[in-house]
Amino acid sequence: MRRRAMREEAEAVDVATLLPPIRDADDAISEAFLAAVEAGLAEGPSDELRARLRDLHEADMGDLLEALPAEARVRLVETLGADFDFTALTELDETDRVGLLSHLPPLMVAEGIRTLESDDAVYILEDLDADDKAAILAHIPAPERVALQRSLDYPEESAGRRMQTDFIAVPPFWTVGRVLDYVQQTDDLPETFYEVFVVDPAYHLMGAVPLDRLLRTKRSVLVTAVKTERVQVVKASEDQEEVARTFERYNLVSAPVVDDAGRLVGVMTIDDVVDVIQEEADEDLRALAGVGSDEELSDTVAYTAKSRLPWLVVNLGTAFLAASIIDLFAVSIEKMVALAVLMPIVASMGGNAGNQTMTVAVRALATRDLGSHNARRIVLREVLVGLANGLALACLLGLIAALWFGNWQLGGVIACALVINMLAAGLFGILIPLTVHYFRQDPAVASGVFVTTVTDTVGFFAFLGLASLWFHLG
Amino acid sequence: MRRRAMREEAEAVDVATLLPPIRDADDAISEAFLAAVEAGLAEGPSDELRARLRDLHEADMGDLLEALPAEARVRLVETLGADFDFTALTELDETDRVGLLSHLPPLMVAEGIRTLESDDAVYILEDLDADDKAAILAHIPAPERVALQRSLDYPEESAGRRMQTDFIAVPPFWTVGRVLDYVQQTDDLPETFYEVFVVDPAYHLMGAVPLDRLLRTKRSVLVTAVKTERVQVVKASEDQEEVARTFERYNLVSAPVVDDAGRLVGVMTIDDVVDVIQEEADEDLRALAGVGSDEELSDTVAYTAKSRLPWLVVNLGTAFLAASIIDLFAVSIEKMVALAVLMPIVASMGGNAGNQTMTVAVRALATRDLGSHNARRIVLREVLVGLANGLALACLLGLIAALWFGNWQLGGVIACALVINMLAAGLFGILIPLTVHYFRQDPAVASGVFVTTVTDTVGFFAFLGLASLWFHLG
């Protein structure tokens, strides 16, 4: 009886009166809040829970949806109805977003999408399959639909897909006062904006006036007199990675987007770019490890396994190449089995050193810090670093190997082999990404396998070859 | 005579009348522009070159300085004098920035720094050694010096170091009209701002009004009526990584910074955060490859070699561990040398698969996408992915090995060993980062060496052990 009462009390605390905090100490959605939401969805949510869910920031709602099982996500959106802010969907993994949307009535999705800023609407629509997309677009009135369709016609990952199509553009003969009045009196302005654009009658961009400058200028001044002319402009067809680099380099908060004819068609803002910067750095990291750039935590076992397999098959090929080098010296190994014991050390040290150099090179190429003006110096530096660390480690490795096998000559041979392989690691660790980049390929994707191939084959060949010569094992 | 004239003409084109474009097709500083600048510095720059350099965007000036030799940098800054925008120094590598500043007169640096926004001034000062810093600060008048000093007193990489200390704060009883008039009539406002803060007399933050909302509100309305109350606040002592996550999650453009007593002391803006996001992603990538997070392209050979050596020494340790496993089976290898030829394949495949899993886990932990709510599912997924790819690759590897050595049993043994190692790679590739994260350490730094140790030892032990048992080699 006592237990029953306590449990009821605990439940009352959970669901009705005092909702647990949404995030735990680790900054993830808390188990307690998750349980409260699931209970609320099962029994019909209390007013307090409903109010709490309605007021959640889109980012928290997104994380909450991710943490819920797939069926509960659908129920949550349906329960909240018009109170559900579709912006939260932009925070979901692609798989989860597409899955959730396919279980919601197209009319409801269409209504939710109409409340969004145009870039978010496009982001949500772009990954859907053609039928779902058409069903939803059919419920959106013509002018809005045409605008969305136009953005969707730009290539994937282009500025045209990421831009906001709502912006404020004024003619050059307006005064600052008139612009301020216009902003104050017009209703359907973009939700947030940081600058007002000045355009000619054909919508060609003439300049931009940041809001803070607008505020600091006398009302009687013409906008054309205070506009910045050297505006960093983004082309709608430009790749988002290119756009991110421009934002980063010039510390932009927003930038006008123009079409091929130079007409203003939208604006890109920093919040979209932050995601791109994050994605691009992630892509490099994944590519270096041989993981597909579109892999997500929500992917299934089958999808994940299939996407990682090709890289492993390539590595199997290079591993066989290394094995065939070893096979050349099978007779030597039979005569002196210590060679088999020690040979992976030389290869692995070279692999690690090559990986260090390559990682630095790949990122420096991605951020354009490494280019023709400093390539020669960096190549030389990496070779000398390889040589320096090679000499230091060779002393250590040679000493340990000599003591282990009681054979000073073996220690000398492995030390020499290590220096050779560390030199090769430094040289090819930088030359390979530079070469891949020169041929306009992504060095993050293709360099790793080449560098490992070099350090494995050079490592085995140098050690086994030197040993065979020195000890006359051949 | 003819040649002389042509050369003069060419020089005229380079330096005087038609300067080459600053960036080449690869988006790096062009060799031609670099040559023109170096020539100009040697002979005294033409008016056109001087004008061009004066008007360069800080980002372009930063890249230009990086591309020039160290002595030329000093000469360039001295040549431009008061026309040189010290903001460009924030774009330099730390080593280059510190080197350049140590060659400039402290008075000149002090004057340059006074023209900067406070966050940029702190950024430039913080890396200098104590003497240089004191010499420069001595030339800065008391009120500004105290403000800089206060920012410098916050811990490294904290919001206090990155914040702007210029901001607009108004009392709650002001009307929107009064705020607009204040902004229009006051001279020493921050260079750019995106919101106006509402504070009580003790400077406790009461809310914020974004500029666009200010513009859209009637002049007679009180600011307190239009302020956003649910402002994402940053603590001055907070780590910049934490701040970046908040900006990213809530798509912020600026956020107020408060001290421990809740008083408004500054504002962080997205442009500083973008750099932090980039840095953090870079740090993960470098850590995974065993490269120090502070390594820069401008570092010397000695510094680079020294900073990369510890990781290589740790790897030497794990390589010896793997070698000692092989040594256990020295007798088996002597009897069947094919084992030595094939054994690196099993270890290397496991290493690659483990690296894939680990990379995904490390990034998911860093972005808080992986947490207690989904850890179990992801561990299971990774194990199953390891099993699936292990089975697929085992067939391939077994077949090739059997054909190569004309020994079907050897093919079977290596296939079994590969499945075991791929399972271990999936399991430990995810468990190790999770465990490191659980103990509040950075999984990017520590996981790699553990995962490689597991896949090497399991790989050699499984293959050599199974072979010894099967072929009775022991």
- Res B253 pLDDT > 50: yes
- Res B86 pLDDT > 80: yes
Same domain, A121 and A199: no
Q: Chain A within 8 Å of B56 (Cβ-Cβ)?
A: no
- Res A2 pLDDT > 60: no
- Res A12 pLDDT > 80: no
Quick one: average pLDDT of B12-37?
Answer: 73
Residue A459: per-residue pLDDT: 95
Domain boundary among A162, A189, A215: A162
Q: Could you report the per-residue pLDDT of A382-433, keeping only the tens digit for each?
A: 999 999 999 999 999 999 999 999 999 999 999 999 999 999 999 999 999 9
Q: Is residue B296 part of a domain?
A: no
CB contact under 8 A, A316 and B247: no
Domain boundary among B242, B267, B289: B289
Same domain, B145 and B192: no
The residues facing B210 across adjacent strands are: B195
The two tokens of residue A20 are 């647990």
Same domain, A278 and A376: no
ipTM of the complex: 0.75
**What is the average pLDDT score of chain B?**
87
Q: What is the CATH number of the domain that holds A346?
A: 1.10.357.20
Same domain, B280 and B308: no
Rounded distance between C-alpha atoms, residue A155 and residue A163, angstroms: 12
Same domain, A173 and A89: no
Q: Chain B within 8 Å of A161 (Cβ-Cβ)?
A: no
Q: How far is A1 from chain B (nearest CA, A)?
A: 32
Same domain, A227 and A121: no
Domain boundary among B289, B321, B338: B289
Name the residue range of residue A410's domain: 301-470
**Chain A interface disruption, residue of B229, B352, B410, B423, most A CBs within 10 A:** B352
| Residue located via tokens 């670093």 | A385
Contact B140, B148 (CB under 8 A): yes
Residue A368: per-residue pLDDT: 77
Q: What is the CATH number of the domain that holds B176?
A: 3.10.580.10
Provide, rounded to the nearest whole percent, the portion of chain B with pLDDT above 90: 46
Same domain, B461 and B431: yes
**What is the average pLDDT score of chain A?**
87
Q: Is residue A294 part of a domain?
A: no
Same domain, A261 and A394: no
DSSP B324-390: HHHHHTHHHHHH-THHHHHHHHHHHHHHHHHHHHHHHHHHHHHTT-SSTTTHHHHHHHHHHHHHHHH
Same domain, A235 and A150: no
Quick one: average pLDDT of A138-144?
Answer: 89
* C-alpha of B336 from chain center: 49
**Half-sphere exposure at residue A267, Cβ-oriented, CA atoms within 13 angstroms:** 23
Q: Is residue A147 part of a domain?
A: yes
Rounded distance between C-alpha atoms, residue A223 and residue B474, angstroms: 88
Residue A18: per-residue pLDDT: 67
- Out of B210, B216, B393, whose CB is closest to A316? B393
Same domain, B240 and B348: no
Q: Chain A within 8 Å of B457 (Cβ-Cβ)?
A: no
Q: Chain A within 8 Å of B294 (Cβ-Cβ)?
A: no
- Res B9 pLDDT > 60: no
Residue B117: per-residue pLDDT: 85
Minimum mean pLDDT among B42-46, B147-151, B324-328: which range? B42-46
Same domain, B329 and B445: yes
**Chain A interface disruption, residue of B277, B304, B434, most A CBs within 10 A:** B304
Quick one: average pLDDT of B74-99?
Answer: 89
CB contact under 8 A, A288 and B285: yes
- Res B11 pLDDT > 70: no
Contact B460, B418 (CB under 8 A): no
- Res A68 pLDDT > 50: yes
Instruction: Give how many domains chain A has, as a whole number.
Output: 3
Q: Could you report the per-residue pLDDT of B358-410, keeping only the tens digit for each?
A: 988 988 888 778 887 788 989 999 999 999 999 999 999 999 999 999 999 99
Q: Chain A within 8 Å of B412 (Cβ-Cβ)?
A: no
The two tokens of residue A339 are 């060679």
CB–CB contacts below 8 A, A to B:
327
Quick one: average pLDDT of A178-184?
Answer: 88
Residue A324: per-residue pLDDT: 94
Residue B8: per-residue pLDDT: 38
- Res B5 pLDDT > 60: no
